[in-house]
Structure 1
């Protein structure tokens, strides 16, 4: 039975109510998404905002680009899309995006106050309301944007008994899948939202692989889009679109393919060949500057190429470690780690958690550990809101280093080490 917005009081109830209603969007197919025209200027708004809400909106515009985990080089352009979706009109779907943005901004500016919960509840209620109206072209896009902003809000420290960030992420992914959004309909600036969702989905695969609390309730979630493992060909990946960045496609394959020594396929020639194939494909990724970035901002292109190389190195290190489940010394991995440190030193800031985690796991000496902690602290200064999740990353690394230091006369299992530390968290951590 569906829960009405009037009966849903807690965040979990509101999220559940929206999940039930959103499932009904699956019957709508064949949208032709049109480019959204922004308001003439931010001095004009389609909704009436009080002084404090307007200040929060301005704060969101100023800080979101350094707060949201976005997998693309020009975060300001992406922020412009979110603002246009929030201010498109006074419809419930626009209000949902706006209220979610205000919740995130209020959390950033004032901490966990009552306003954060109020804005969040309004966003969820208006999402439910907009599902009852006729479904027009921008509505699904706005639902995806609102879900992802709420996903980030939950990641950053909202008190919950469940990993609601993952629930919002799943809703965004289901909206993309269920309404029949295909490549020809999801082009241009709207493809940025799809990339945003898929980046988080791939990284959530890593979390699900190593977080084993409440295994039975999330078993179905783990199998949302399984990979057929007979080969490591990209076309076998069902959860990641073929037009997503190559590194995301191969990371998804890696997280799905890795077998434990107790698995029957672990010692098979087929598994060995698949690992070799996957390693070759990751190594062969051509790191190019993104299209459409002018020469005047070439620094942005350089930073993006370095970022992609860090993801590539992290993917290779994880593949080598996890596929053989060993934590011992490896000259080849040491070389990749040193290259990663060079790239980190060249970048002003770098805050994607997965590469920092995998590279940080390789720090054996105090000097190496201080070096990775300095990079994390630099990223924390760049975004005071994301510092909460980066502080969690610091804690995870320190727990891993303690395990390494205690293993004096024996070698730790790489997978078990990650499992033990990540599972020690009551709420499933994210690594975006």
Structure 2
């Protein structure tokens, strides 16, 4: 019976193949291989995000989210670090924001602990943590954006807003910027109403879970429907089901739900770890 996180093994396997074929000293890459490196890097980064929240069994608070799956004969699959894997990668000149966003997603996953426990931190620890989050927040806000006239500009901006919303929510608004958060949310729904499609799943989840009013939810459902009709779009089944499940949780809750617990509960309902690609 296949393991529920089996797709992550294939991502690791592709990294191994590309790494072993890489000319370590010369780093000569053609455009096709560089595009493949970017594609694998994207899946690898978003895999880290999935692992943060997917739980199949109860775990202790400080236990890692998912251990590396055991393969044939009890051996472990070789781990290729992102630094080693990306040493030859070139930033795509016409789309420099892609590399920046992915590196910031990696930093977000590494900086914000799984289940941030701010109440257990002393004052000094909270100050240090807030400083790291403030720097990350600033870097996300300063992602190089495509020109406003470019068709892709709204999609990049939506991804940026989703990262800012997630960062502030998951750190329990440690930066005390409620007014900025509301602006991010309002801007996100404005863009969602204007976009023809949104193929990346991450912003669809994050923005979708923010929908509180009937108008906002109609905006999300409209964007989902338009995206599903695009022949090049991947299945939106998990997005549609989990976003609406989040709305149900919010509607039934007597008070505001803990964001980390809400997202983790929703994602863990899936028998197969969902991808946020």
Instruction: Give the TM bin, normalised by the shorter chain.
Output: 0.7 to 0.9
Pair 1:422–1:318, CA change in 2 (3 A): same
Aligned to 1:302, the other structure's residue is in SS state coil
Q: Does 1:411 align with 2:256?
A: yes
Aligned to 2:239, the other structure's residue is in SS state helix
Q: Does 1:177 align with 2:31?
A: no
Q: 1:273 and 1:335 mapped to 2: Cα distance? A: 22
Instruction: Give the match for residue 195 of structure 1.
Output: 38
Aligned to 2:229, the other structure's residue is in SS state helix
Q: Does 1:250 align with 2:104?
A: yes
Of 182, 189, 202, the residue aligned with 1:334 is: 182
Q: 2:250 and 2:33 mapped to 1: Cα distance? A: 44
Whether the aligned pair in 2 keeps the contact of 1:169 and 1:200 (CA below 8 Å) is yes
Instruction: Give the match for residue 8 of structure 2.
Output: 166
Deviations 1:114-135, CA, capped at 9 Å, x for gaps: xxxxxxxxxxxxxxxxxxxxxx
Instruction: Give the match for residue 397 of structure 1.
Output: 243
Q: How does 1:95-244 map to 2 (within 5 A)?
A: 160-180=2-22, 184-213=27-56, 218-220=66-68, 224=79, 243=90
Aligned to 1:185, the other structure's residue is in SS state coil
Q: 1:181 and 1:213 mapped to 2: Cα distance? A: 39
Shift of 1:384: 7.7
TM-score when normalising by structure 2? 0.78
Shift of 1:360: 0.7
Pair 1:415–1:302, CA change in 2 (3 A): same
How many residues end up aligned between the 2 structures? 250
Pair 1:175–1:217, CA change in 2 (3 A): farther
Deviations 1:171-208, CA, capped at 9 Å, x for gaps: 11222334445583234232111110111111111110
Q: Does 1:307 align with 2:155?
A: yes
TM-score when normalising by structure 1? 0.52
Whether the aligned pair in 2 keeps the contact of 1:351 and 1:376 (CA below 8 Å) is no
Instruction: Give the match for residue 23 of structure 1.
Output: none
Note the aligned Cα RMSD (angstroms).
Answer: 3.2
Shift of 1:323: 1.5
**Structure with bigger gyration radius:** 1
Q: 1:349 and 1:203 mapped to 2: Cα distance? A: 20
Instruction: Give the match for residue 272 of structure 1.
Output: 130
Deviations 1:345-390, CA, capped at 9 Å, x for gaps: 333222211001101111111221111011011100113872xx31
Q: 2:21 and 2:167 mapped to 1: Cα distance? A: 34
Shift of 1:314: 0.8
Q: 1:360 and 1:247 mapped to 2: Cα distance? A: 20
Q: 1:202 and 1:220 mapped to 2: Cα distance? A: 16
Instruction: Give the match for residue 139 of structure 2.
Output: 281
Aligned to 2:48, the other structure's residue is in SS state helix
Whether the aligned pair in 2 keeps the contact of 1:240 and 1:249 (CA below 8 Å) is no
Q: 2:182 and 2:85 mapped to 1: Cα distance? A: 32
Q: What residue ranges of structure 2 are gaps of 5+ in the alignment? A: 70-77, 92-98
Specify which structure has the bigger relative contact order, considering alpha-carbon pairs within 8 angstroms and separated by 6 or more residues: 2
Instruction: Give the match for residue 422 of structure 1.
Output: 267
Q: What residue ranges of structure 1 are gaps of 5+ in the alignment? A: 1-11, 13-159, 228-236, 290-298
Whether the aligned pair in 2 keeps the contact of 1:357 and 1:397 (CA below 8 Å) is yes
Pair 1:262–1:161, CA change in 2 (3 A): same
Pair 1:240–1:355, CA change in 2 (3 A): farther
Pair 1:276–1:239, CA change in 2 (3 A): farther
Q: How does 1:41-56 map to 2 (within 5 A)?
A: none
Deviations 1:271-310, CA, capped at 9 Å, x for gaps: 1111111111111112135xxxxxxxxx9x7122222111
Pair 1:257–1:377, CA change in 2 (3 A): same
Shift of 1:320: 0.6
